Structure 1
Amino acid sequence: MSLSDAVLASLDPEQREVATALTGPVCVLAGAGTGKTRALTHRIAHGVHAGVYQPQQVLAVTFTARAAGEMRSRLRDLGVPGVQARTFHAAALRQLQYFWPQAVGGALPSIVEHKARLVAEAAGRLRLSVDRAAVRDLAAEVEWAKVGMLVPESYAAAARAAGRGTPGGLDAAVVARLLQAYEDVKTERGAIDFEDVLLLTAGILDERPDVADSVRRQYRHFVVDEYQDVSALQQRLLDLWLGERTDLCVVGDASQTIYSFAGASPRHLLDFPRRFPGARVVRLVRDYRSTPQVVALANGLLDRAPKAATRARVELVAQRPPGPPPSFTAYDDDVAEAAGVAAGVRRLLDAGVPAGEVAVLYRTNGQSEPLEQALTQAGIGYLLRGGERFFARQEVRQAVVLLRGAARGDDGSTPLGQLVRDVLASAGWSEEPPAATGAVRERWASLQALAHLADDLAAARPGARVPDLVAELDERAAAQHAPVVEGVTLASLHAAKGLEWDAVFLVGLAEGLVPISFAADDPEAVEEERRLLYVGVTRARQHLALSWTRARTPGGRATRTPSRFLDGLRPASAEDRPAARAARAAGGRSARKEALARTCRGCGAALATAAERKVGRCADCPPGYDEAVFDSLRQWRSATASEAKVPAYVVFTDATLVAIAESRPADTASLAGIAGVGPAKLERYGEAVLEVLHGRG
């Protein structure tokens, strides 16, 4: 059997159709868990082994460095190591660095990693009053405008048409002025941003036929993964790479489009057959990831979407043996839900499911706190996914510096794992995880991941020493391939995209959270929320638990209703009787109206929960306080609650701690004015809180 035939031998009929379609435009509609990466990599490998492709002339484009690294690894295993697999930005930056001297002259301007400082300066020039949260939102709006190839003159009309609202509390006309001021500041600084990398590369290719010809001679065959997430700017760059050619294979799933807020659009995927008449369209429908029970729920979720929203939908066909049915549970409040989830996780762990194969997913990052507490109280390790990249974290950078120093003095007398733990201990690592949650726990988890990586390296390469570990870390940092600590994963639904676990808990599935309150009156936004839940459901291989709460806090009003997306999917109960349903719906409308009437003082977004309304800031906003102070307060609360043998929220809720950390009261009179600090708590905890805040005692 030839190498090219061997590559095809393990594919199913639809995957084989993709792998053998080596030329011409090809559009692959690949449902969740259907093996799209397998089909893509085997297509490239088959083309190389059959002599149709030269490896160096293939460019496979992905959306994350992790996905690009995985694709390169699989291609190496298939015997084709020379293929270029990169993100759009990485591919464009490489071309821009190479062609800038001849197309523009001089050195490429420095790239600004974070826009916040330049956006703040631009706002200052316009005498706009903006805080840190507003700057964050305005930076995101700058990115949205640029990936949509909008200029200040065209922004306002496009933003109004897209329903962008008032980012940073500013109307579209003012934001348009800010866009121009931002570009002026950037030009004066001699800098470019990440979107400029794509814009400048596209500009050079468009204006310099000689450069475009050079790139097109280099790359003759293109593959684009996650094509439903392509922006207008990325599509423009892809068009320039292609020229008049049609040797393009795109892969995507319109039902997993969840990043439209960042400029992604499925229209390029949906319109591909119209743009390329005669294009071969292949549907990957065999789901190898999930049980029939999970697949049925995922299909049922999309069955209830409006027909216009399911264009090019893939109906999944389960290939795995049957498993347990998904469970649906209503809890009285968020604390009860967290305790129930922790108990469910414990049952799975006791049954032999590895902790790393369990995930708890939620709509907003602010929902993690009660889950963290419940898992901690149950003695279950966890890790938070999302946020700052692993190798960009301060504790990881510090640990790598310490390991570089230790590498010079490693004489081989101490086992690698122990030596690395000794080094990490000087960076604050301990054998036992801290009782605190939040940033303290995340710091420990980062260092614990490095300790586990040392163990893995020692097992895989006997005789490996600290210099080998440092080299491994450097390679992983370049590929953004972070090690992970063993534990249950806590993540938002957005952060879970592209991942999978044996068991998934989907929590907080109530109106106002799924769909999120600010999407309730926009049909297109509601359907994106449905797709987001679909992504969550399809992350589960075997065990799937869905839950919601009737109230936010213990003893609170039971005004929450189950998500509309669960209608017809969950078993009927007394709560579904017409009178009860009507009463809940009325209460839900009232609650949503109240939430929409209150906005975050940081970003202007609607405050969807009572805790957010207490502090006047939404859960996803950057904190308006010193994080070290907040962590000190949480550690004090944890110790106090442990000593009193009560849940941490009984001492103070997170909302109250946020308010304390933000206002930094100087005395008990000021502390008494904070919501959640009543006379009894003031007497019991007041002096202790002030000591934490101001170091007295």
Structure 2
Amino acid sequence: MSNFTDGLNSEQARAVTHVDGPLLILAGAGSGKTKTLTHRIAYLIGELKIFPSRILAVTFTNKAAKEMRQRLAQILGEDSENRQFMPWMGTFHSICVRMLRMDGENIGLDKRFLIYDTDDQISLMKQIMKARGLTDKDIKPRAVLSAISNAKNEMRSAEDFSASTRGPREQKIAELFFAYEKALKDASALDFDDLLIKTVELLRSKPDIRHKWQQQFEHILIDEYQDTNAVQYALIKLLVNSRRNLCVVGDDAQSIYSFRGADYTNILNFERDFPGTTVVKLEQNYRSTGAILNMANALISHNIHRTDKNLWTANGDGVEPKLWQLYNESEEALAIANEIQAQIANGRQYGDVAVLYRTNAQSYAIERAFGSELYSV
């Protein structure tokens, strides 16, 4: 057992060695959640002798899945490139594709269904709009597709959307929604949202298939649970069997995908949804200094709906964070450039400095303030 808990703190080790029943791991920022989740899977396989094919491990990105698979393979002495190693580790979408390829015919899907990416969707919507005499000046194709995606993430059909429209713009989107769904069906195609919607439909409408998949997965682990939306939440509940070996990892204070339907209350309500849940809090932060954590804890304490945790670190207090209140983006960019120059004068290298911004559009003012000499470094 020591191999699977080596290098872990006491709470991380408690999460790793939990055996049966629902487990909620509240993992604060920089608390080693990926390490904990990886070691837990290793423990299930190496100590409890669970076959890798009986473990469903869901990540939010392919990059995260690849990183976790590589770490896990290193712990267990496996080949991370072997397709048979952790065959059910991946994103919600990749997992659903596989399930639909295997069982989608039961709800009328062609086994060879196409998957439309964003470019395919835009092209299709433009065709639909053109056939109706609409142009970008009337309504943007991306705006229509965004509205459709939001509806699907809330598990609302075109009929549901149409029934709740307000005003001519939403009525027009509803018409395009119906046409879009028909065009997808005619092409034997699904968009990314459909992959989840159709899997939920399959599991809900076919009890025998739902039972098969519930028996397939002895343990289910979900990363970034605070960013799950309504359809992902429904999918998880449909896949959990009577033993309820569901482990979710997340932090309500780090939810960033509300703009695409993520519902952080899923993690707040986990104990209600799965009575008897074991809760493990990962509160030791390995990334930041005490001064940064004190500021973060103070800000988070004002959240009305939140879990009770307090991040701490053994890294020392460090330098107090600075808050600049500036007039506009140009003044902000100049302040950033001046601060970097001051750091360089104190002996730092340009490679020691990172500038973070929320959207790509914000980089222009910063680049301009840096000037060609500094920016080319």
TM-score (norm 2): 0.88
Shift of 1:325: 1.3
Q: Does 1:118 align with 2:116?
A: no
The equivalences for 1:298-377 within 5 A come to: 298-305=296-303, 308-309=304-305, 311-331=306-326, 333-348=328-343, 355=350, 358-377=353-372
CA deviation map 1:540-589 (0-9, x unaligned): xxxxxxxxxxxxxxxxxxxxxxxxxxxxxxxxxxxxxxxxxxxxxxxxxx
Residues 61-88 of structure 1 deviation map (CA, whole Å, 9 limit, x = unaligned) = 0111111111111111211643342000
Does the 8 Å CA contact 2:162/2:171 hold for their aligned counterparts? yes
Q: Which residue of 1 aligns with 2:81?
A: none
Following superposition, the deviation at residue 144 of structure 1 comes to 0.8
- 2:188 corresponds to 1:185: no
Larger Rg, first or second structure (1 or 2) = 1
- The separation in 2 between residues aligned to 1:261 and 1:57, in whole angstroms, is 33
Cα displacement (A) at 1:122: 3.3
User: Could you tell me how far 1:230 is from its partner in structure 2?
Assistant: 0.6
Q: Residue 105 of structure 1: CA displacement?
A: 6.8
2:360 aligned partner, one-letter code: N
Structure 2 counterparts to residues 27-42 of structure 1, below 5 A: 27-42=24-39
Report if the CA contact (8 A) 1:100-1:108 is conserved: no
Residue of structure 2 equivalent to 1:256 = 254
Per the alignment, residue 44 of structure 1 pairs with 41
Match for 2:310: what amino acid? Answer: E
Structure 2 gap ranges (5+): 79-84
Q: Which runs of 5+ in 1 are unaligned?
A: 161-165, 383-697
Which residue identity does 2:24 align to in structure 1?
C
1:205 aligns with 2:203: yes
Report what 1:90 is aligned to: 94
1:28-427 matches, within 5 Å, as: 28-79=25-76, 81=78, 82-83=85-86, 84-100=88-104, 104=108, 106-114=110-118, 115-131=121-137, 134-155=140-161, 171-305=169-303, 308-309=304-305, 311-331=306-326, 333-348=328-343, 355=350, 358-381=353-376
User: Cα distance 1:184–1:354, how it changes in 2: closer, same or farther (>3 A)?
Assistant: farther
Answer yes or no: is the 8 Å Cα contact 2:5–2:16 preserved in 1: yes
Shift in alpha-carbon separation, 1:136–1:172, aligned structure 2, 3 A: same
Give the deviation of 1:123 after TM superposition. 3.4
- Shift in Å, 1:317: 1.2
Partners of 1:129 and 1:105 lie apart in 2 by: 32
- Equivalent residue pairs, number: 368
Specify which of 12, 15, 20 is matched with residue 17 of structure 2.
20
1:144-166 superposed Cα distances (whole Å, 9 cap, x missing partner): 11111101232257677xxxxx8
1:152 is matched by which residue type in structure 2? A
* 8 Å Cα contact 2:102/2:111 also seen in 1: no
Q: Percent identity?
A: 34
1:61 match: secondary structure: strand
> Does the aligned pair in 2 maintain the 1:125–1:181 contact within 8 Å?
no
Contact kept in structure 2, 1:230 and 1:266, CA below 8 Å? yes
Going from structure 1 to structure 2, the CA distance change for 1:365 and 1:17 (only over 3 Å counts) comes to: same
Give the conservation status (yes or no) of the 8 Å contact 1:253–1:313: no
After TM superposition, give the deviation of residue 233 of structure 1 in Å: 0.9
CA RMSD of aligned residues (A): 2.6
Q: Deviations over 1:383-414 (max 9, x none)?
A: xxxxxxxxxxxxxxxxxxxxxxxxxxxxxxxx
Higher relative contact order (CA 8 A, sep 6+): 2
Q: Which amino acid aligns with 2:91?
A: T
- Shift of the alpha carbon at 1:318? 2.3
1:375·1:381 contact (CA, 8 Å) conserved in 2?
no
- Shift in alpha-carbon separation, 1:242–1:159, aligned structure 2, 3 A: farther
- CA spacing shift, 1:356–1:186, aligned 2, 3 Å: farther
Find the aligned partners of 2:90 and 2:274 in 1 and give their Cα distance. 24
- Structure 1 residues 105 and 155: alpha-carbon distance in aligned structure 2, compared to 1, 3 A threshold: closer
Sort the Cα spacing of 1:136 and 1:54 in 2 relative to 1 into closer, same or farther, 3 A.
Answer: same
How far apart, in 1, do the equivalents of 2:156 and 2:26 lie?
29
Following the alignment from structure 1 to structure 2, what is the Cα–Cα distance between the partners of residues 13 and 132? Answer: 59
> How far apart, CA to CA, are the structure 1 residues paired with 2:113 and 2:252?
37
What is the one-letter code of the residue matched to 1:71? M
Q: CA deviation at 1:91?
A: 0.9
